[in-house]
Chains A and B, each alone.
Chain A
Amino acid sequence: MKLFRLTLPAACLVLAACGSDNDDPMPTTMPDEDMQMVDDPAPVDPVDPVDPVDPVDPTPTTVELMITATNLTYAQPLSPIAVALHQEGQFWQVGEPASNALEVLAEGGDNSDLLALGVVQSKASATAPLPPGKKTQLTLTHDSLDGQKLSLISMMVNTNDGFTGLNALDVSAMTVGQAMTFTTHAYDAGTEANTEAQGTIPGPADGGTGFSADREALNKVAMHPGVVGMDDGLTTSVLTSSHKFDNPLMTVTITRTK
């Protein structure tokens, strides 16, 4: 029964999201909606929430989304969180090689290349890493939500190439005042082997190198297997038991405020 409760709300949301997938030019079958509802979702309103030619109010409406993210881990600071609105594309797809922009984020925590992608129509980035247990708030504005998807991404900085986020979540039907809450999973960019070795991890556990253009053998995005650490049998690891994590990594609430 638990499975039923967990999957059905997400299924409803995804169902609503599927109408706009067909004109997605990326080599994809469907958005990778890797997320789960943690609260009862408000039903997705099928009515277009924004009418730019509303005769009563001819001035363009500014849409505003407030995004609140909480770091649920014990000791994994999350690199400055990036959020973006886009109509096409995905920051990552499980089973596909990471883009160079994703590799830069996943290995070093730098989100600037991802946010500079041509598909991004509105963006925001936190100015500092999000410490464990802490919460941060970001705001996205745009003239319309028509066809818009929201992506959020951040690196677990005490890993080789681990990241978490929301992947092309359909927000086009959100109404003013509506809030949706999700939890996020841990992914592995598949671009750097999880050696956990000294000098390879950019976070405070090591202070090592972030991005390196070399690619590991797998070279495909997968779910993250977790870190091992020196306390759990990887003698050459700079990580300890405190750096271990499990899904979920973050709670994210998206509220349409305007």
Chain B
Amino acid sequence: MKTRITPLITGILLASGTASAASLDVKITNLTQGIYFTPLLVSAHTSNAMLFQTGEQASEALQAMAEGGSLTGLSEILTGVNANTMENPAGGLLGPVASTMTSLETDAGNDRLSIVAMMLPTNDGFVGLNSWPIPTAPGTYHIYLNAYDAGTEANNELVVDGSGAPNTPGIPASPGAAPGTQGSGVTETESNTLVHIHRGNLGDDDTTGGKSDLHNTVHRWLNPVAKVTVTVK
């Protein structure tokens, strides 16, 4: 599992020695009108670690998060690099325009902040913050996050029970508005297999049939999809 992420982590923990421990409050707001975030992963880590990077292939751990919301693999990796991590601050799904707040005590050297969560309903879409440099100056900082596609699953937009497992096509759940049924599938291929900015859900206006099980007036979004407010104390 760790082999794919190894080039990003590099395996060498260069202790900077200068970045000191910090105490952070992190508020995360879902800015969308119809998309839910699965349990969030909020982590402070060294500049040598990354949870994801655009233009690179997703790790298996990232794939499991993006396709099914599982944080197990990413958490293991973060524990392995002595990151300071908070899992699931919202205690479940973070719904449209809802906010959650958490605190994070960071160890010296863990001076980058990353956040990920799967976006529902999508096939392998996730909201992400990659290695934001945590300021040393106390204050309140605002960051806007984009929606990414892990590039690991075709965006067929079909809601299928149990499809959260890697390599099982489909969207595992559609919280909120009931999804359509019996869609024929938007696409069967994922030609860009690297992490990229999500092109958005297509949806359709058929509750039964059509290409997509999603609704085009409910399940689309424009970036940014989340706002993060970090207070450095």
With contacts A10-B142, A15-B139, A222-B96 known, is A233 near B202, CB below 8 A? yes
Q: Are A228 and B217 neighbours in the complex by a CB distance under 8 Å?
A: yes
Closest to B221 in A: A225
Q: Which of B8-16, B38-46, B76-84, B127-135 contacts A (4 or more CB under 8 A)?
A: B127-135
With contacts A3-B132, A94-B97, A186-B222 known, is A228 near B33, CB below 8 A? no
In the complex, A29→B229 CA distance in Å? 11
B227 proximal to A (CB < 8 A):
yes
B214 to chain A, nearest CB (A): 11
- A interface: dominant SS: loop
Q: Are A225 and B220 neighbours in the complex by a CB distance under 8 Å?
A: yes
Q: How many residues of B contact A (CB 8 A)?
A: 38
Closest to B220 in A: A225
Query: Beta-carbon contacts of A203-240 to B below 8 Å, as 1s and 0s?
Result: 00000000000000010111111101000111110000
With contacts A218-B33, A226-B222 known, is A11 near B205, CB below 8 A? no
In the complex, A236→B216 CA distance in Å? 12
Query: Beta-carbon contacts of B49-74 to A below 8 Å, as 1s and 0s?
Result: 00000000000000000000000000
B27 proximal to A (CB < 8 A):
yes
Partner among A33, A190, A233, A247 whose Cβ is within 8 Å of the Cβ of B204: A233
B31: chain A residues at CB < 8 Å are 94, 222-223
A36: chain B residues at CB < 8 Å are 144
A194 proximal to B (CB < 8 A):
yes
A14 proximal to B (CB < 8 A):
yes
Interface hits, A9-38 → B, CB 8 Å: 10-11, 14-15, 18, 29-30, 32-34, 36
B223 proximal to A (CB < 8 A):
yes
B29: chain A residues at CB < 8 Å are 94-95
Q: How many residues of A contact B (CB 8 A)?
A: 40
In the complex, A195→B217 CA distance in Å? 7
Q: Are A234 and B216 neighbours in the complex by a CB distance under 8 Å?
A: yes
B129: chain A residues at CB < 8 Å are 3
Interface hits, B183-230 → A, CB 8 Å: 200, 202-205, 216-218, 220-225, 227, 229
Q: Are B139 and A223 neighbours in the complex by a CB distance under 8 Å?
A: no
In the complex, A17→B121 CA distance in Å? 36
Closest to A4 in B: B133
Closest to B96 in A: A222
A60 to chain B, nearest CB (A): 33
In the complex, A246→B197 CA distance in Å? 14
In the complex, A32→B141 CA distance in Å? 12
A7 proximal to B (CB < 8 A):
yes
- B interface: dominant SS: loop
Partner among B33, B34, B143, B216 whose Cβ is within 8 Å of the Cβ of A7: B143
In the complex, A235→B32 CA distance in Å? 23
B135: chain A residues at CB < 8 Å are 11
Q: Are A7 and B132 neighbours in the complex by a CB distance under 8 Å?
A: yes
Q: Are B139 and A18 neighbours in the complex by a CB distance under 8 Å?
A: yes
B98: chain A residues at CB < 8 Å are 95
Query: Beta-carbon contacts of B109-143 to A below 8 Å, as 1s and 0s?
Result: 00000000000000000000110110101011111
In the complex, A232→B98 CA distance in Å? 29
In the complex, A224→B29 CA distance in Å? 15
B202: chain A residues at CB < 8 Å are 232-233
In the complex, A228→B216 CA distance in Å? 7
B163 proximal to A (CB < 8 A):
no
Partner among A95, A223, A225 whose Cβ is within 8 Å of the Cβ of B224: A223
Q: Please list 14 pairs of residues, one from A and one from B, whose beta carbons are closer than 8 Å in the complex, sorted by A's number.
A: A3-B132, A11-B135, A14-B142, A18-B140, A36-B144, A95-B29, A95-B98, A95-B99, A188-B33, A193-B217, A218-B96, A221-B97, A225-B218, A236-B205
Contact residues of A with B, CB < 8 Å? Answer: 3-4, 7, 10-11, 14-15, 18, 29-30, 32-34, 36, 94-95, 185-186, 188, 190, 193-196, 218, 220-226, 228, 232-236, 246-247
The 6 closest A-B pairs by CB, nearest first: A222-B33, A11-B141, A95-B97, A223-B31, A15-B139, A225-B220
**Given A95-B29, A95-B98, A218-B96, 20 additional A-B pairs, CB 8 A:** A7-B132, A11-B139, A15-B140, A18-B140, A29-B27, A94-B31, A94-B97, A196-B217, A220-B96, A222-B32, A222-B33, A223-B225, A225-B33, A225-B220, A225-B222, A233-B203, A233-B204, A234-B205, A235-B205, A246-B222
